[in-house]
């Protein structure tokens, strides 16, 4: 049985719901990384297209947030809890060729956590741009560019809901959704 402190952290994560453009998906938590773990996943809702995506495009956005707990505090974690996130989102060609993409991608995470006042320490991770090309009779776009972000951090407070809010903010920002209450300017001549 999980300790009460872990169950409370999970309840706080589950209490935060993502924006309507995202849908929660069930995923299994990793079992070997810590004695106690929980994971939640998000994808782009079926009826949502990110800004700039073709209306017939199959946009694949994947996000995972994992909570690890080891009552025997790990030195590398600098605590008993560790948050781990993964994000994969499509890029438009202008973003994919931007030399600052990797640094900007990392700032999406730190800005999201800071905006949500999620305290963290021992933050580390990677941002990767991937490009693939399709040839022959494989359906789909001839070229696909994605950004992948992998990160982990130690929460420095017990406000786990703020970490979930930061994660959802990261995902919506990476796929180009505007802030809640903000409209995108569109070409009025279309």
The pLDDT tens digits of the residues spanning 107-119 come to 999 999 999 999 9
Give the tens place of pLDDT for each residue, 61-102: 889 999 999 998 778 888 899 999 999 988 877 777 777 888
How far apart CA 70 and CA 81 sit, in angstroms, is: 6
Which run of H or E residues covers position 32? none
Chain centroid to CA 125: how far? Answer: 13
Give the tens place of pLDDT for each residue, 1-23: 889 999 999 999 999 999 888 99
pTM of the model: 0.83
How far apart CA 159 and CA 161 sit, in angstroms, is: 5
Facing residues of 88 across strands? 62, 148
Mean pLDDT of 28-45: 92
């Amino acid at each position: 049985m999980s300790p009460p402190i872990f169950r409370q952290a999970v309840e706080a994560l589950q209490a935060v719901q993502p924006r309507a453009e995202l849908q929660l998906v069930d995923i299994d938590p990793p079992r070997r990384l810590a004695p106690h773990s929980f994971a939640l996943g998000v994808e782009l809702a079926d009826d949502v297209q990110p800004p700039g995506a073709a209306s017939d495009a199959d946009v694949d956005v994947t996000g995972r947030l994992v909570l690890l707990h080891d009552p025997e505090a790990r030195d590398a974690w600098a605590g008993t809890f560790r948050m781990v996130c993964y994000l994969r989102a499509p890029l438009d060609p202008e973003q994919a060729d931007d030399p600052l993409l990797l640094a900007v991608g990392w700032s999406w995470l730190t800005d999201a956590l800071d905006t949500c006042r999620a305290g963290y320490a021992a933050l580390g991770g990677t941002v990767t741009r991937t490009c693939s090309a399709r040839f022959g009779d494989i359906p789909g776009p001839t070229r696909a560019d994605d950004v992948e972000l992998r990160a982990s951090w130690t929460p420095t407070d017990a406000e786990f809901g703020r970490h979930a809010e930061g994660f959802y903010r990261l995902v919506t920002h990476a796929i180009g959704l505007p802030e809640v209450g903000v409209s995108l300017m569109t070409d009025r001549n279309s």
